[in-house]
Every structure is written in structure tokens, then in C-alpha cells.
Chains A and B, each alone.
Chain A
Amino acid sequence: MLKRFVMALCAVALMAGAAQARTIHFASDATWPPMEMLDAEKNVVGFCPEVVRAMAKAGGFEADIKSTAWDGIFAGLAAGKYDVIASSVSITEERKRAMDFSDPYFEVKQGVVVRAGSDIKSFADLSGKTVGAQIGTSGYFTAKKAEGATPKSYDEVGLAIEDLFNGRLDAVICDDAVAADFALTNPNYSGKLALAFLIVPEKPEYLGFAVKKGNREVIEILNASLKAVRESGEYDRIFKKWFPTN
């Protein structure tokens, strides 16, 4: 009786396995609106998750997106806790040494958020000011490059924005879309914070999906499905939904 039961279980498991498409696990630091964030039901939503879900549909795989703290997100990838980081990761030379990237899916600039009425108008104005950013992001690397400024690293960009709002920081640097979201559309901050200016990089900065070094298989799936999503016009539809002003 037991034997038959176990065999039946095995058969069910096998069939389920065969029927199920391959699942790719994505990690996302969902504290980065409107790129990726949590909605009221704790689902990961935003521009990037929506692109990923469209890619899954086009590429025939299951996308499992888990909210993961930024600090340690790269260590988790190296440890094999998930296959892909889909979390507004800029493609940089330093990061390319530690991980592989998909084709770019977004172009970013760094945006500088200040309190409304601030006299910070240019990158040079940051001298002598305290500038916050999220630890390990291109925003923080930019803050460290500002001459004469005191950079401060936060666990989350939201905490830096809160400190800016409370008057302990003079500016926060983060991706332009995120900066615009906090300064212009966030009901808690709009009118009190302002997007001072964008920092134009020497060469364009792109976001990509990061995978463990050498994981060609997943890279190929990602690139093929991203291409399909772009060609079908789905990408543009999602872009317009999340960035209606552009």
C-alpha cells in the first residue's frame, strides 16, 4: 500500500516537473520607486519587474522575483541564492569583473535631489555639503567624487531621502527616475523636495541584469527575451506606463 502510494507520488512529481517551465529566480531591492518597489500587497512591482514578467512570457520561463536587501545582494548572487539581480544595477567595469551582465535594458543618469529652495544648482555647488546616497550604488560613487563634499552611505535610498527631508543632508544622489519619483510624485515629499539637476556622465550609464560570472545559459535566455519584448513594442508600452512624462 505504502509502496504504491510512494510510486504515485513520484509519478505526480515527475509529471509536474515536465509540465513546468524553467523557473528563473530574480532578486530585487524593492525600495527604488518607480524602478522596483513593493505595492500594498507586498508584490514586487515597478518598471523593471514588469519588463521581467513580459520577458518571462516572451521567453517561456517562470520569473520568480524576490525582494532582497541591497546590502549583500551581490554576495547572494555569488553564493547562488538566485540566478539574476534585476534591481537597477548599473553596468560598470568594476562590477563586470565580479559578475556578468545581460544587454542593457535602461539608460540612467544620476539625479540630485535637494530641499525646495536650496541653492545647490550644479555639481560644484555640492562642495562643503553633506551628500547622501544608497551604499554601493552609482549614486554613492558619484557622491564620493564630488569635491569637498561629505558623502554618507545609507542602507536604503528612502532613508537618505528622509534625512534630506529632516534637514540632516543637503542633497541625495540616485538614479534619475528614482530621484524624480521622490521629488515630484511622492505625496510625502512633493513640493518640499526638488530635483536640482542631472549629472551627465562622461559615457552613458546603462542598467543591466546581473548574473553569476560565467552563467551564459541564463544570459542568453535574458537577452533573447529582452529582444523579443523590445521588438513586440511591449517594452515601449511598459515604459510609457511608468514614465508618462518622457
Chain B
Amino acid sequence: MSHRKHVTIDIGDGAAIPRKRDIGLFSAWWLAFIGAIAIIVYLCSVSPEPYLRILKFIPDGVLVTFEVTVLSILLSLVLGLITGLGRLSKNRAFNLIASTYVEVVRGIPLLVQLFYIYYALGRLEIFSNLPPLAAAVIAMGICYGAYMGEVFRAGIEAIDKGQTEAARSLGFDSRQTMFLVILPQAWRTILPPVGNEFIALLKDSSLVSILAVADLLRRGREFASESFYYFEAYTMVALVYLVITLVLSKAVSHMEARLHYYDRD
């Protein structure tokens, strides 16, 4: 990161444009992050009963939340890439399947999809042994795959047509053009919205607690339902979610900064 500080002005073909520095976002992030950590530390030290007890009760829930999120993201990226390519494909059948998938999945709330895949399909012999975690990952991966597909499509469409023409005239076939020329460039445009989807997915992973998956939210609810410390438990759960998403958003913006290093804004 240190090298970035020296580069304040990019000199290119056009006029010199001062590099944008996101001071506002930077300080808002630190304010939220340090604030959240400080409140957690303060609550735990001032009244360890119940706050510290809650904090000790939920770590395995945090792990499950991470597990669901990471696996769902991987699945949704694969589905998103396939769908994005399908939506741009000249192959009619492929295109139609991808478009229908997006339309159907976007029209059904995630919570309903979770119920459907776990409880409704669970009635069928082949799905009845599907563990809740797998059902959660499949439902969330399928749901976010549709949104990712649109992100990929938009990112690919944003690349100048000349790039395709140049690649094709250099003798690349259409697959090589897509994977070696277009996608590496499109990734820069795609990354910021994909980062947003990651964070949205992490937050939506709280919905999987409906499948009796012991995630962060369910751990908090179990604590609250037995101790009646509703206010305290949900305060702590909210703060822990906040810290996790803040760390994730920082990681995403870090990746963005690296990808845009050579860009002129």
C-alpha cells in the first residue's frame, strides 16, 4: 500500500487529473469499526454478565456464518459466470436457460427459497438426507448466482467491442477472446458490485437460521430465549455482524484499489 501514497497525479494522454482519495469513506469506516469494537469491549468490561457470556456463547455461530458465506460465494461466482456468459451467448438455448434462471430466482425471496429447498424438497427421497448446511449453501448460491450473473453480464458488456475485434483479428477464437482478453479486463468493473454482493450475502446468511443451522443469529436467539436477555443478546449479535461485514468491505476495497492501480480515474 505504501507505494500508492506517492502517486497523487497520473499523467496520461489527457489532462492531469488528481487521483481521487476516498478520505470520507476511509474515516467513516474507521469510525464504525473502532466504534463497534470499543462498544463491545466497553459492554463486556462494564457488565460481563450477560455481555461477556453472550460473546463466549456465539463464536461457533460466527464460524458457521463464515462457512455458509464462503461456500455460497464460491457457488454463486461459478453460477454467476456461467449465467453471465449465457445471457450474452448467441446460443439460443443456453441464453434462454440462463435468462429464465435469473428471472425465476430473482422473483422468489431468499427465505422462501431456503424453505423450499430444505423443507419442501426434503419430502423427496433424494433430498431427504441433504444436511441443513448444504441446503443453505445451495439455496444461497443459487439465489446470489442469479444476481452475480447480471453483474458479470454488465461487466463484460462494458468492455469495448474493439477489444473483441482486435483479439479475433489476432487469431483468438471466441472462447480464448472471452477468457484471455475480455474477462481479465471486465474483472475490474465487476469487482466492486461483486464485493457488494458478498457483503449482502453475508448479512442474508442470517436467514439460514430458519433451517436450524446454528449460525451467529441462531446462537444469539438461543441465548436470548433461555436467559431473556433479549436486548443484550441482539445488541451483541448486531455488533458482531457489523464488525465482520466491515472487515469484509475493507478487504474488498483493498482488492479494488490494487486492481485500479494502473487506471486513470
Q: Is B42 an interface residue (CB 8 A)?
A: no
- Closest CB in chain B relative to A79 CB, distance in Å: 9
Instruction: Please tell me if the beta carbons of A166 and B128 are within 8 angstroms of each other in the complex.
Output: yes
Contacting A at CB under 8 A, from B30-58, are none
User: In the bound complex, how far is the Cα of B211 from the Cα of A132, in angstroms?
Assistant: 11
Q: How far does the alpha carbon of A160 sit from the alpha carbon of B122 in the complex, in Å?
A: 12
Q: Are B212 and A167 in contact (CB-based, < 8 A)? A: no
Q: How many residues of A contact B (CB 8 A)?
A: 25
* A78 contacts B122, C-beta separation under 8 Å: no
Contact indicator A163/B212 (Cβ below 8 Å): yes
Residue of A nearest to B121 (CB): A166
Number of B residues near A (Cβ < 8 Å) is 19
Which of B129, B210, B212, B228 counts the most chain A CB atoms within 10 A?
Answer: B212
Asked whether any CB of chain A lies closer than 8 Å to the CB of B184, the reply is no
Are B212 and A153 in contact, CB atoms less than 8 angstroms apart? yes
Distance in Å from the Cβ of A135 to the closest Cβ of chain B? 5
User: CB < 8 Å: which of B132, B218, B221, B227 contacts A168?
Assistant: B132
Our count of residue pairs bridging A and B at CB distance below 8 angstroms stands at: 55
- Complexed CA–CA distance, A127 and B164 (Å): 63
Binary flags per residue of A70-94, CB closer than 8 Å to B gives 1, else 0: 0110110010000000000000001
Q: Using a CB-CB cutoff of 8 Å, which residues 216-258 of chain B contact chain A?
A: 218, 221-222, 224-228, 230
Contact in complex: B128, A168 (CB < 8 Å)? yes
Give chain B residues whose Cβ lies under 8 Å from the Cβ of A168: 122, 128-129, 131-132
A155 to chain B: which residues have CB within 8 Å?
Answer: 210
Which chain A residues (98-146) contact chain B, with CB distance < 8 Å? 98-99, 132, 135-136, 141
Quick check: is A38 within 8 A (CB to CB) of the other chain? no
Q: Are A153 and B132 in contact (CB under 8 A)?
A: no
A141 vs B225: C-alpha distance when bound (angstroms): 11
Q: Is the CB of B212 within 8 A of A132?
A: yes
Is A98 within 8 A of B228, CB to CB? yes
Is B172 interfacial (CB-CB < 8 Å)?
A: no
Is A167 a contact partner of B225 (Cβ separation < 8 A)?
no
Q: How many angstroms between the C-alpha atoms of A120 and B76 in the bound complex?
A: 40
Q: Would you call A66 an interface residue if the criterion is a C-beta within 8 Å of the partner chain's C-beta atoms?
A: no
- Evaluate contact between B212 and A162: CB separation under 8 angstroms: no
**With known contacts A166-B128, A168-B122, A159–B212 Cβ distance under 8 A:** yes
B168 part of interface (Cβ distance < 8 Å) = no
Contact partners of B225 in chain A: CB under 8 A: 71, 74, 135-136
Q: How far is the CA of A71 from the CA of B220 in the complex (A)?
A: 12
Measured CB to CB, the closest approach of chain B to A69, in angstroms, equals 11
Question: In whole angstroms, how far apart are the Cα atoms of A96 and B160 in the complex?
Answer: 69
- Which residues of B line the A interface, CB within 8 A? 119, 122-123, 128-129, 131-132, 210, 212, 214, 218, 221-222, 224-228, 230
A interface vs B, CB < 8 Å? 71-72, 74-75, 78, 94-95, 97-99, 132, 135-136, 141, 152-155, 159-160, 162-163, 166-168
| Extra inter-chain contacts (4) besides given A153-B218, A163-B122, CB under 8 Å | A75-B230, A136-B222, A153-B221, A168-B132
